Amino acid sequence: MAARRIPSLLSRSLSAPSTSTPHFLSPRKNPGRGRGVYRFSTAAALEETITPSVQISYTQHLINGQFVDAASGKTFPAYDPRTGEVIARVAEGDAEDVNRAVAAARKAFDEGPWPKMSAYERSLIMLRFADLVDKHRGELAALESWNSGKPYEQSAKSELPSFARLFRYYAGWADKIHGLTVPADGKHHVQTLHEPIGVAGQIIPWNFPLIMFAWKVGPALACGNTIVLKSAEQTPLTALYAAKLFQEAGLPPGVLNVVSGDGPSAGAALASHMDVDKIAFTGSTETGKIILELAAKSNLKQVTLELGGKSPFIVCEDAEVDKAVDLAHFALFFNQGQCCCAGSRTYVHERVYDEFVEKAKARALTRVVGDPFRKGVEQGPQISSEQFEKVLRYIKSGVESSATLECGGQRFGSRGYFIQPTVFSNVQDDMLIAQDEIFGPVQSILKFKNIDEVIRRANTSRYGLAAGIFTKNIDTANTLSRALRVGTVWINCFDVFDAAIPFGGYKMSGMGREKGIYSLSNYLQVKAVVTPLKNPAWL
């Protein structure tokens, strides 16, 4: 893979794992609370769970610049997926909390200083925020991993640098958003204005809480909007911490409001609110349909959706099998398989299929599973008991459908939500494991004979988010990349997410694009202004 200019969020890394403990973690340990580092292929002794030294300081809603309790006074638990234990109780938002947050955002947009600031002044606040993120990277990374179960090294070394980079990228756009002068046939001066859309509602998922925060908050602020953001109920902690840093950076009250709560109450209230001008959602396709319906039935607010996927990863007959196995493994197992664009349909040419399967199995058997706060761990727990059980049901379905279970398929350990890295071969297109978004560490390997066949089969999916192609042949790469009906195609790489690269899907994988210049249009209105010209010197 080509070297990256900036720290990549998720691009493939070939660095060797270390065995030491991250410097930001406390030496304090809790006996009996989980496990340490394991290789799936060996029986390792149990080790004590590492306790992060970060303090959970922000558990209330942030509304109009103040941290406040839920209107109802209710709270809900935030869990450590390593153990299933409660690590905090967080304000539980409902319609009344959303109403308060929307009122604050509306007042900040209509009467506050934010949209009336120069774009340059707005960019400076965003840049100060990015500097604060760098300063507090350890705390944010620890909270992200503690609440979500992803490896600390992933959070600290990949996601937090990308998080800050995204805000610097959008800070750079703030003073470069402008309209056009348009020639007209008659004696008129015509110009277009690109205006902020108003109050933006944003609903982010649990698999990449901070990164999704940046994908949505960054362009909305650059365009001059105000925001009500609902975090995922599974992972509410880092959005609140980041919002506090925005306050320190000088963001005016009411510009960014954060409400914690579940989808059916807080999320539905935000999507259907009559004073919200735009809604952006990342999550499942099923929930995306509900968001779209609520938006249409309320005030027909604009909608951006980034939804599910079942991405094909195509290994062609000329592939170097060892490299293809390594990249396909990363494409599927990264982030515990909890990635919307995961390469979850691994299509392998029949000429190299048997060799690929054996080596994919061997790679899965050496995958390091354990406490995400210990260096060298590649795979932590799934996010929740619900997701854990869902993945195991899909594994059972694969076995019952007569796919060959090459390895894995069981719970890992006896506590928390860990699942063995699982590989299926002889998978057929009509099996559920080849059709549904599993969102877990389950690799399904399918066989194909020729390019025309794999194009047809890869496109026979209700999803169209992304695809991977592994080949040495530029003609094959060009043919596949143009034929696949997906929003992103990675050729001989996977999960390369630069701030400037747009991301979004075809078909039931969503509508609109996030990141890059394309995301700005999600948060802008275009106004045409026409003025008559009297005795113009030229037209």
Residue 208 corresponds to which tokens in the numbers above? Answer: 């990449």
> 267: part of which helix (H) or strand (E)?
none
Q: Are 16 and 23 in contact (CB under 8 A)?
A: no
Cα–Cα distance between 377 and 291 in angstroms, integer?
Answer: 36
Residue 25: C-alpha distances to residues 54, 84, 149, 207 (Å): 8, 20, 15, 22
Place of tokens 């990342």: 282
- For 319, the 3-state DSSP assignment is coil
Question: Which residue of the set 139, 306, 378, 406 is catalytic?
Answer: 306
Largest separation between any pair of C-alpha atoms in the chain: 88
User: Does the annotation mark 306 as catalytic?
Assistant: yes
Place of tokens 């113009």: 536
Cα–Cα distance between 356 and 165 in angstroms, integer?
Answer: 37
- Residue among 473, 458, 465, 510 at smallest CA distance from 489: 465
Alpha-carbon dihedral sign for residues 514, 517, 523, 526: negative
Q: Are 219 and 522 in contact (CB under 8 A)?
A: yes
Q: Residues 6 or more apart from 98 whose CB is under 8 A from it? A: 228, 230, 259, 266, 269, 270, 273
Alpha-carbon dihedral sign for residues 402, 41, 362, 310: positive
Residue 473, CB-side half-sphere exposure with 13 Å CA sphere: 11
> 76: part of which helix (H) or strand (E)?
strand 75-80
Residue 257 corresponds to which tokens in the numbers above? Answer: 């409001």
Our measurement of the distance from residue 342's CA atom to the centroid of its chain's CA atoms, rounded to an integer in Å, reads: 11
Give residue 328's region: left, alpha or beta (phi > 0; psi -120 to 50).
Answer: alpha
- For 349, the 3-state DSSP assignment is strand
Cα–Cα distance between 111 and 170 in angstroms, integer?
Answer: 24
Q: Are 213 and 229 in contact (CB under 8 A)?
A: yes
Q: Are 34 and 82 in contact (CB under 8 A)?
A: yes
Residue 72: C-alpha distances to residues 76, 83, 200, 212, 231 (Å): 12, 29, 24, 28, 18
Active site residues: 306
